[in-house]
Amino acid sequence: MHTVTLPRLGTFEVWRDAARALAAAGTPPEQCSWQMEGAAASLFDTPDAPLPPAKRSVNVPKAFPQLAKQLCASRAAGAFDLAYRLLVRLSDAPRLLSNRADPDVAQAEALAKNIRRDMHKMKAFVRFRDVTPEGANRRQFLSWFEPDHRIEQLIGGFFMRRFGDMDWVIVTPEITTRFEGGKLSFEAVESARLDLSDETEELWKTYYANIFNPARLKIKAMQSEMPKKYWKNLPEATLIPGLIAQAEAKVAAMQEAAPTLPPIRAGRVLDRLHTESGDIDADLQGCARCPLAGPATQAVPGEGPMDARLMIVGEQPGDQEDLAGRPFVGPAGQLFDQIAGEAGLDRHAAYVTNAVKHFKYTVRGKRRIHQNPNADEVSHCRWWLDREIAQVQPVMLVALGATAALALTGNGKNITARRGRVEKGLAGLPVFITVHPSAVLRQPDETSRKALRGALHADLAEVSKMMAQVAVASG
Ligand code: URA
């Protein structure tokens, strides 16, 4: 058995170097044991031996390092083993990650999703307290947070970009992250909970009391969006019991005042309530911005790395996506994966989503037949797409077909003539226009199917080339 002990800081980097060496030496997964520094060693473990010499080279698809990084941040039992097992299996099956039916791939995606969720929560619920000493020329802030997983190093860059104009420290039970004088650093140090309070606290309370809408009070949903464990670190949480208690009386008052409330303002209240959790996937499930939510099984959020440089936008979930709750898993998605793979576009390195998040259909017999979303539905759903774009911050978007082109550029016409070109999108980002894979599936004969498949292939190869140039330009 080869034991590898991983440090709390640089966990992924140490895992990566050891995993690469072990895989290159042909060490099977069942002969490796991975443990965190400080974890109780098993009786049968041997101390870390020198890594074996390489017998072959190890190549992985572009999406794997990101996935492995997320797995290495997971506290789930067996996450390191799973990452190593995937690494070993990838040498014989380079397309393995596209096979979502594979139990290892499915488990890895589920764990990675938990990591992304934990990161969302940290982005939404970190509250900084002003601790600027008198006379300091840069503001200084301090925060305490308890993540579920070891995400501090994954998320440090986000806080650096977001709060680059001040010095700050985020303390978690195991890691202290500092941004001081423009430099980000991490320190592995155990800390007890910090109890912080200052005037910023009042600001948060005022903000929360204003966005709280008693008419939409759903205590269970509220607690799942803002789980109780985060409350103790949120200044506004002290208001929640009181606001809940007053909700009934406030709703009655609101109902009386309802005729004087302009609908546009009501819409804004709703928007602000949705902004509250910062977790798009979860917020989306409560969406009632258009009637499509009613008949659909669930809203289907986008998925992929939250720092992806490329965002691929389809039309709307289909029958299978509606049931699975994940985009592009049905026939059109599988065809897209296949063509993207052949065109050298790493689809798992991209964030994949839809212009409309609910499945629109009519029922015929036992079948649910897809219907195109109309311009109103696309326009209502842009609110979610804009949030995804703001959160992921891609450098380029790909519009698959007319609905995506409409959502991203304001124009859904003449896709055949526009395909293969980059246009300026509504969000100010470049939008590459191409056809939708389902259009390939709908072609009436083999010749036209081949032609359209070829067009989509050529477009995705072009996108892949552009993204490679972006990667080189940005180092
Ligand atoms: N078609 C799309 O546009 N999106 C999906 O998620 C599935 C099919």
Cβ of 437 below 6 Å from ligand 1: no
Are 68 and 214 contained in the same domain? no
Record the pTM. 0.49
Q: Tell me the best of 300, 312, 315 to mutate to test the pocket of ligand 1, counting ligand atoms within 8 Å of each CB and taking the most.
A: 315
Are 365 and 296 contained in the same domain? yes
Are 135 and 46 contained in the same domain? no
Residue 198 lies in a domain: no
Q: Which residue has the tokens 């060490």?
A: 27
Residue 361 lies in a domain: yes
Last residue of a domain, one of 83, 101, 121: 121
Are 278 and 390 contained in the same domain? yes
Are 171 and 56 contained in the same domain? no
Residue 463, domain CATH? 3.40.470.10
Check: CB of residue 339 under 8 Å from CB of residue 293: no
State the Cα–Cα distance between residues 427 and 384, nearest whole angstrom. Answer: 13
Nearest to 462 by CA among 401, 415, 421: 421
Structural domain count of the chain: 4
Taking only the tens of pLDDT, the chain with its 475 residues reads 889 999 999 999 999 999 999 999 999 999 999 999 875 555 455 557 777 776 777 888 888 999 999 999 999 999 999 999 999 999 889 899 988 889 999 999 999 999 998 998 888 788 888 777 777 777 788 888 999 999 999 999 988 887 877 888 999 999 999 998 889 999 998 888 776 665 555 555 555 555 455 555 555 655 666 666 776 666 666 666 666 666 666 666 655 554 443 444 444 444 443 344 457 777 787 787 888 888 888 889 999 888 899 999 999 999 999 888 899 999 999 999 999 999 999 888 999 999 999 999 998 887 889 999 999 999 999 999 999 999 899 999 999 999 999 999 999 999 999 999 999 999 889 999 999 999 999 999 999 999 999 999 999 999 999 998 877 665 5
3-state percent helix, strand, coil for the chain, nearest multiple of 5: 50, 15, 35
- Ligand 1 center to residue 354 CA distance, Å? 7
Residue 59 lies in a domain: yes
Cβ of 373 below 6 Å from ligand 1: no
Are 217 and 169 contained in the same domain? no
- Ligand 1 center to residue 331 CA distance, Å? 9
Are 423 and 275 contained in the same domain? yes
Are 32 and 166 contained in the same domain? no
Which atom in ligand 1 lies closest to the alpha carbon of residue 332? 8
Q: Tell me the best of 354, 403, 440 to mutate to test the pocket of ligand 1, counting ligand atoms within 8 Å of each CB and taking the most.
A: 354
Are 111 and 210 contained in the same domain? no
- Ligand 1 center to residue 192 CA distance, Å? 47
- Ligand 1 center to residue 95 CA distance, Å? 21
Are 427 and 455 contained in the same domain? yes
Residue 336 lies in a domain: yes
Last residue of a domain, one of 78, 103, 121: 121
State the Cα–Cα distance between residues 372 and 401, nearest whole angstrom. Answer: 11
Residue 67 lies in a domain: yes
Query: Strand pairing of 367-370 and 361-364?
Result: antiparallel
Residue 196 lies in a domain: no
Are 305 and 398 contained in the same domain? yes
Domain span at 344? 267-473
Cβ of 315 below 6 Å from ligand 1: yes
Are 103 and 134 contained in the same domain? no
CA atoms within 13 A on the CB side of 384: 28
Which atom in ligand 1 lies closest to the alpha carbon of residue 326? 6
Residue 262 lies in a domain: no
Residue 195 lies in a domain: no
Cβ of 321 below 6 Å from ligand 1: yes
